[in-house]
């Protein structure tokens, strides 16, 4: 493969005085997925050096966890990856449940799987729409947001909020699924693969998209592994690693799905892998909904789960424990790590408890932060226009990077 950058450097370099130019891309640039600033050193149009500047969206969430209760920090995990908020809650709830030793009923596990896969779809749909928009295709954006809107209407009806839903609780979920809602989501999940075919029809054979994406930002498996990448980016590089298969959590071992793996590892492969992942997610959703087990949606663990509300109104015991659990929930001393396969990669929560009402130390293993480290090796010696395509294909969210 010839390096297109070589043809773009000034021909008369020997005669003409040229120097490297510093260009700040972002933090208000529309294609940097939030508030990322990239300091580019350009020789003509070629990137000779680049430096991502993080921290514009730093809110100190990990430190904040040391001052608010365990349940209160749940709303902060929503705001890490705000394109897939319930996955943050899911990972955090798994970590706390590991710490406390709460056993989650099977029905709650299946509900969590279904809504976590819905979140993967919404995150991938935003990625699909915006990254195609950034290289000049505007129609996919509207299509992706059409499907996302359908999904958000359903989630709004279930949780009460469109984004940043506060739906997962320690030991289960907030509310049970209604049969009518289950039927509508299953219908949607059956309809959705046809929508992905439609996206592919519009974009895969489009020469402009193909030329912008094929053999751009090629990453081999060694580079991806050495950078610690996870998620679709790693799988596009040819490594079939998926936490849902490697370390199944929340009953993922029961579902039948495939892991899409790329062959080249370029922007185009990452696009194909994510599209295939959307089809597989739809498969998981209807499997989870069709085999939805009967039973409770909340663990019957009265140390950490609030008592039934109607008894709180009338009985002294339950009233006392309502107050006690809200104000004084204390997991045992110890530490726990739980990771889930988020939309961007392995989303892990490492919590240390000293037996108090707040965590002693919390850390989020944010996939966006790790994946962002790939943009420098991928963008070097490429024309500046490729930076947009590569940054879009890596798919990070600054809320999760900066935390």
Partner 1 sequence: MVLVKNRTLTLGERFYFKTVFFGLIYTIKNIFKKKITRCYPEEKLDPAPSFHGVPVLVADSEGNPKCVACGLCEFVCPPIAITIHGTETDRPIERMPKRFDIDMLRCIECGYCEEVCPEEAIVMSQDYELVGGNRHDFKWGLDQLLVPEAKLKPRLEYIRKTFHRFKSEPRDEATAASVPGVGGAGRTLDGTQVHAALERYGDNY
DSSP assigned state of 390: H
The smaller minimum CB distance to partner 1, of residues 33 and 61, is found at 61
Contact positions with partner 1 (CB under 8 A) in 280-309? 295-298, 300-303, 305-306, 308-309
- Shortest distance (Å) from residue 292 CB to partner 1: 13
The smaller minimum CB distance to partner 1, of residues 36 and 219, is found at 219
Question: With contact defined as beta carbons under 8 Å apart, do 299 and 93 qualify?
Answer: no
User: Following CA atoms 181, 186, 191, 197 in sequence, which dihedral angle do they give, to the nearest 10 degrees?
Assistant: 130
Burial of 13 (0-12, 13-18, 19+ CB in 10 A): exposed
Contact positions with partner 1 (CB under 8 A) in 313-342? 313-319, 321-323, 326-327
- Shortest distance (Å) from residue 91 CB to partner 1: 18
The smaller minimum CB distance to partner 1, of residues 201 and 373, is found at 201
Closest CA relative to residue 276, chosen from 168, 350, 204: 204
Closest CA relative to residue 385, chosen from 26, 31, 17: 31
Q: Judged by CB under 8 A, does residue 29 bind partner 1? A: no
The smaller minimum CB distance to partner 1, of residues 108 and 379, is found at 108
Strands (E) located in 115-161: none
The smaller minimum CB distance to partner 1, of residues 19 and 310, is found at 310
Token pair 């009460």 is found at 160
Contact positions with partner 1 (CB under 8 A) in 132-171? 139, 146, 149, 156-161, 164, 166
- Shortest distance (Å) from residue 95 CB to partner 1: 18
Q: Judged by CB under 8 A, does residue 1 bind partner 1? A: no
Question: With contact defined as beta carbons under 8 Å apart, do 110 and 254 qualify?
Answer: no
Closest CA relative to residue 375, chosen from 47, 10, 84: 47
Three-class DSSP category at 364? strand
Contacts with partner 1, residue ranges (CB under 8 A): 68-69, 71-72, 75-76, 139, 146, 149, 156-161, 164, 166, 174-176, 201-202, 204-208, 210, 240, 258-264, 269, 272-273, 276, 295-298, 300-303, 305-306, 308-319, 321-323, 326-327
């Amino acid at each position: 493969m010839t390096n297109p950058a070589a043809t773009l450097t000034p021909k008369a370099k020997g005669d003409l005085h040229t120097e490297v130019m510093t260009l700040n891309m972002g933090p208000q640039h529309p294609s940097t997925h939030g508030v990322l600033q990239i300091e580019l050193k350009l020789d003509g149009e070629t990137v000779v050096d680049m430096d991502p500047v993080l921290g514009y969206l730093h809110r100190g969430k990990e430190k904040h966890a040391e001052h608010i209760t365990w349940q209160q920090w749940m709303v902060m995990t929503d705001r890490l990856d705000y394109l897939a908020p319930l996955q943050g809650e899911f990972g955090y709830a798994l970590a706390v449940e590991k710490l406390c030793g709460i056993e989650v009923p099977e029905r709650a596990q299946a509900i969590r799987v279904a809504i976590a896969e819905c979140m993967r779809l919404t995150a991938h749909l935003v990625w699909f729409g915006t990254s195609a928009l950034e290289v000049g295709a505007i129609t996919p954006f509207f299509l992706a947001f059409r499907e996302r809107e359908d999904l958000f209407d359903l989630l709004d009806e279930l949780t009460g909020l469109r984004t940043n839903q506060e739906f997962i609780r320690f030991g289960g979920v907030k509310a049970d699924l209604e049969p009518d809602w289950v039927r509508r989501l299953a219908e949607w999940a059956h309809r959705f693969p046809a929508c992905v075919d439609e996206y592919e029809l519009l974009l895969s054979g489009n020469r402009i998209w193909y030329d912008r994406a094929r053999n751009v930002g090629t990453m081999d498996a060694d580079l991806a592994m050495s950078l610690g990448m996870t998620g679709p980016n790693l799988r596009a590089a040819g490594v079939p690693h998926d936490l849902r298969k490697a370390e199944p959590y929340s009953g993922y071992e029961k579902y039948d799905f495939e892991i899409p793996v790329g062959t080249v590892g370029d922007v185009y492969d990452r696009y194909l892998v994510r599209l295939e992942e959307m089809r597989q997610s739809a498969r998981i959703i209807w499997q989870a909904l069709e085999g939805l087990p009967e039973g409770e949606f909340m663990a019957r663990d009265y140390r950490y789960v609030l008592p039934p509300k109607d008894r709180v109104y009338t009985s002294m015991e339950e009233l006392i424990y309502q107050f006690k659990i809200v104000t004084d929930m204390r997991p045992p001393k110890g530490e726990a790590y739980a990771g889930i396969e988020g939309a961007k990669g392995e989303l892990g929560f490492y919590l240390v408890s000293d037996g108090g009402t707040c965590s002693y130390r919390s850390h989020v293993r944010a996939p966006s932060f790790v994946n962002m480290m790939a943009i420098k090796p991928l963008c070097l010696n490429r024309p500046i226009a490729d930076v947009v395509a590569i940054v879009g294909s890596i798919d990070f969210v600054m809320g999760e990077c900066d935390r």
